[in-house]
Amino acid sequence: MQKKVDIEDLNSIRSESNFKDYSHIKIGNNVQYLFLPRSMSDLVLIFDFASKNKLAIFPIGGGSNVLLGNVKNRVLFLDRKLPKICEINSDEVLVSANYNINSLILKLKKSNLGGLEFLATIPAHIGGIIKMNAGAFGKNISEYLKWIKVLNKKGEIEIIQKEKIEFSYRKSSIIDYILKAAFKLEIKSEEEIDSQINKFRRIREKTQPINFPNLGCIFKNPKGESAGKIIDECGLKGEKFGDAEISQKHANFIINKGNACFDDVKNLIKLIQAKVHAKTGIELELEITVLN
């Protein structure tokens, strides 16, 4: 009979840190099960533990799009200590899901490969970017994707071709843990890539409150409209709960001005949704994932 994986078997990879240390908005509590796997065999143990105890698995990449409270009865793990790979072959790259997007853009540039510059400066990892179908300036990551290699809930490894995945605005049908991804890129000169990176960086610096911890856009844009503009027109810029504040620079960003906590951000989200609905009838849908 197969031995049941106990929490003691995972002690060496269990994180004792508060999730705040890993969250891009610097908010987080003590999560019940938070792991830092270093290898594929650590991952297998984590998946086994979750399966045997009937707990859902929630991977964390850059932590730039998740707001966590006191998460219980879920198995969370951070991908940052897993091995990183990036193999370039002609105009294609095979990259591990824990690769930071900015490091990838710079590495590809040295091989005269571009296309992903629209994501420059986002503090995210490739897995999170694919899962969220991240995009900006009219482009989405799915346009460059070829296939992904995943670890499914049964602990099996599978390759899923892009055509088998449904991608829409900030959404994908992926339910498994992405281990690696293959992309087809554009051949470009280093100068062209640098100029694109600088162009997008300048726009973000001008329009986003990047000097404060944040989670990017909190809400999805309603069809044909801008959530930031709607929130601004409802007069909500500068509204706050504790140290969480609706940015004066971009109304779809909530910033942490010091010691904001999970409830501060949740209260601000509820306030925005209620006021926008009362004034416009629009129901703003969250882009970030909130787990309490």
Which of 13, 68, 71, 134 lies at the binding interface for ligand FAD (CB under 6 A)? Answer: 134
Residues 76-95 that bind ligand FAD (CB under 6 A): 79
Verify binding: residue 131, ligand FAD, rule CB under 6 A: yes
Q: How far is the CB of 177 from ligand FAD (least distance, A)?
A: 5
Q: Percent helix, strand and coil across the chain, each rounded to 5? A: 30, 25, 40
Buried b (16+ CB within 10 A) or exposed e, 104-136: bbeebbeeebbbbbbbbbbbbbbbbbbbbbbbb
Smallest distance, ligand FAD to C-beta of residue 279, A: 26
59 binds ligand FAD (CB under 6 A): yes
Tell me the closest approach of the beta carbon of residue 102 to ligand FAD, in angstroms: 11
Q: Which is nearest to 157 in space by CA: 138, 140, 179?
A: 179
Strands (E), 216-282: 240-241, 244-246, 254-256
CA–CA distance, 254 with 6 (Å, rounded to integer): 39
Q: Token pair for residue 37?
A: 């796997």
Q: Give yes or no for residue 55 binding ligand FAD (CB under 6 A).
A: no
Stretch that binds ligand FAD, among 58-66, 233-241, 244-252, 278-286 (CB under 6 A): 58-66
- C-alpha–C-alpha distance, residues 77 and 147, integer Å: 23
Choices 13-21, 85-93, 128-136, 233-241 (CB under 6 A): range interacting with ligand FAD = 128-136
The number of helices, as runs of H, and strands, as runs of E, in the chain is 6, 19
Radius of gyration (C-alpha) of the chain in whole angstroms: 20
What does the alpha-carbon distance between residue 84 and residue 116 come to, in Å, rounded to a whole number? 19
Nearer to ligand FAD, 94 or 210 (CB): 210
* Binding of ligand FAD by 128 (CB under 6 A): yes
Least separation in angstroms between CB 210 and ligand FAD:
6
**Toward ligand FAD, which CB reaches closer, 72 or 277?**
72
Q: Is residue 123 a contact residue for ligand FAD (CB under 6 A)?
A: yes
**234: closest CA among 287, 284, 170?**
284
Residues 13-42 touching ligand FAD, rule: CB under 6 A, are 24
**Which tokens sit at 58?**
């929630």
> Cβ closer to ligand FAD: 10 or 124?
124
Task: Pick from 45, 127, 149, 183 the residue near ligand FAD by CB under 6 A.
Answer: 127
Residue ranges binding ligand FAD (CB under 6 A): 24, 58-66, 79, 97, 122-125, 127-129, 131-132, 134-136, 170, 174, 177-178, 208, 210, 214-216, 289
